[in-house]
Amino acid sequence: MNPIRILVVDDSVVMRKVLCEILSEEPEIEVIGTACDGRIALAKIAQLHPDLVTLDVEMPVLNGLETLAEIRKVDRKLPIVMFSTLTERGAGATLDALSLGASDYATKPSNTGSPAAAIAAIQAELIPKIKALCKHPAGKVAMLPAPHAPVQIRRRAHRRIEIVTIGTSTGGPNALAEVLPRIPKDFPVPIVLVQHMPPIFTRLLADRLGSHSAIAIHEGSAGIVLAPGQAWIAPGNFHMTVKKTAAGSRLELNQDPPENSCRPAVDVLFRSVAEVYGESVLAVVMTGMGSDGVVGSQRIRERGGEVIIQDEASSVVWGMPGLVHASGLADAVYPLDQLSQEITRRVVESRSSRAVPNQNQPLHLEQAK
């Protein structure tokens, strides 16, 4: 099989050298060129036709965002991984890049203690993303076998959905920007979610999503009592769970070991929601790399809740939802542009005292109150 051909773009000589050495150690990857600024990068992309570009955010002549915008004018599909610093400015620029069409991002390591640790951190984060975005066999999930038995679509007339929980990773910020702003202001249940991101990023993501949504969206914090019509995103480097108390369901945070190499982890949140809410859970697994969410989806299904997933065609990487599907745990599959409507429909129907409306008829939230 042909290797994945990479163009490395970074204004730092040291970083270009480090990235080239790391990538060249992978037999499935070939570095076909480097560039020190965006203008040179554009010329080399036209000349070399790489399979993927790693793109620094801060560069002279033409910075990463400007370069990305120029690339997307002529090529909407070329995988581009932004390489940014783990700072407020770097996080903000990365979210800007994702909204402009970047496929994913990797963070430059800081405070790792040694060059070897920094290299290991880059390897662990960047290599799997490259393989997943280029649909290399090591990162491809679309080839998984179908479930051994058809998944039963369960419609319980008397089951009320009391919470929605969402898990996503690669491609998630843009996917959430499609879904959450379309949730109506009077949505009758809370939403809790995990987006795999480091600290700072999750807070800025919550702020950005909240500025474009009718519902309030926050970064999760310990002790918060869940309320209808609001959403909470697990903070970077913390697992987020839900606990039942006399005052209502509260958020808790911990720094237990990562699961699926992730903290926050979808599985941790999904399991806690299943324990507190039982059959009254609607879980949504969206675009993302890896297997996080499969074990949690199984727990939700065992407790009687429902799990729906994003389809392959609209996912940047069909890893997380693809594995839920392959495990026979998905009640239904929907394209991204239908997820918000389906989430709202299922919640409203479950809470309506009237006859279940036709799926094609408009739903009104006042029915659910």
Indicate if the alpha-carbon torsion angle 321, 327, 328, 329 is positive or negative: negative
DSSP H or E segment with residue 205: helix 201-211
* From 196, 239, 267, 315, active-site residue: 196
Distance CA 251, CA 223 (A): 5
75 noted as active-site residue: no
Residue 100 parent element (H or E): helix 88-100
- 331 is an active site residue: no
Q: Among the options 169, 249, 297, 352, which is catalytic?
A: 169
Active-site residue, selected from the candidate residues 292, 315, 331, 340: 292
**How far apart are alpha carbons 256 and 346 in whole angstroms?**
33
Report whether 349 contacts 357 (CB < 8 A). yes
Cα 338 to Cα 109: distance, rounded to the nearest angstrom? 37
Is residue 169 among the annotated active site residues?
yes
DSSP 146-186: PPSSPPPPP--TTPPP-EEEEEE-TTHHHHHHHHGGGS-TT
User: What are the catalytic residues?
Assistant: 169, 196, 292
